[in-house]
Amino acid sequence: MIKLVKEIDLNEAYAALQHEEAGGISLFIGTVRNHTPGKSGVMQLDFEGYEPMALKEMEKIASEARNKWPIKQLVMIHALGEKKVGESVVLIGTSTAHRSDSFASCRFLIDELKNSVPIWKKEHFEDQTVWVNAHP
Amino acid sequence: MNIRLFGITKDIIGAESLQVPNDLSIHTVRDLKHWLYAKYPDIKSLKALAVAVDHGYAEDGDKLSPGNEIALIPPVSGG
C-alpha cells in the first residue's frame, strides 16, 4: 500500500501489513514536533507534494526494499496539507518472517523517502514561515 | 516551455508555474538551470536544485522538449 492522503489511518495500515507468513511487523510513524533546531514554537506544518512524482519515487524505493529483504507486506503513506503538533505525517511499515528484516527494511524506507521523495514542509511560527531544509 | 514550481521555488519566482520563452535556446537541464540562476539569483542560495522531467529526476545533460512535464525540485523535506 503506497499512497498520499489527508489523514493517516493507522488501523487501515496495520490491516494491510497482516500476512500469515509474517512473524513480525515494524511500524514507523513520523509526527509533527513543536520545535526545530535553534527555534521553538512551531505551530503548524504544511506539506506540499508533487503527487505523481512522489508516488513514483515511493514505488521505486519500495521495489528496492523488496529486492534487499524478503518483505511480505509493505506500507508507505505520507500525509499532505496542514498538520498540527502531534499529528502523524508519515507511516512506514513492513512485515517479514523475522524481526531483523522488518526493522532494517522499515529504516531503509523512511531514510530513502526523506532523501528523494518530492514532498516539502513549511513550518509556521508565530512570526514567520520557513521552508524546511531549503538553505544550507 | 512550462515549468511547474514547488516549495520555496514558488516563493522565489512568485508564481505557481513559469513560462520559458521558446526563443531562448534552452535545450538541456543545464541550460535551464543557468537561465534560472541568472534571472532569479535567490535560487543559487538554495542547498540544491533538481529538475524533474516526466516525473523522474533528470541529469544536467538531459534534453528538454516542450512535450515533457518539467518541474523544479528544491531540497525535499518530507517525513
Q: Which three cell numbers stand for residue B1?
A: 516551455
Q: Are strands A71-79 and A2-5 parallel, antiparallel or unpaired?
A: parallel
- DSSP helix/strand/coil, B11: helix
ipTM confidence: 0.93
What are the sequence ranges of the domains in chain B? 6-15+25-73
Burial class (CB in 10 A: 0-12, 13-18, 19+), A25: buried
Residue A10 to residue A23: CA distance in whole angstroms? 19
Torsion sign over Cα A87, A58, A108, B8: negative
DSSP single-letter state for residue B59: -
Residue A15 to residue B72: CA distance in whole angstroms? 37
pLDDT at A6: 97
Span A25-38, pLDDT tens digits: 999 999 988 777 77
Q: Min CA distance, A61 vs chain B (Å)?
A: 13
Minimum CA–CA partner of B56 in chain A: A53
Considering only residues 44 to 63 of chain B, which have any Cβ-Cβ distance to chain A shorter than 8 Å? 45-47, 52, 55-57
Per CB-CB distance under 8 Å, the chain A contacts of B4 are 50
Q: Which fold has domain B6-15+25-73?
A: Ubiquitin-like (UB roll) (3.10.20)
Alpha helical stretches, state H, A1-136? 10-16, 51-68, 99-116
CATH code of the domain occupying A2-132: 3.90.1170.40
Span A71-128, pLDDT tens digits: 999 999 999 999 998 899 999 999 999 999 999 999 999 999 999 999 999 998 888 8
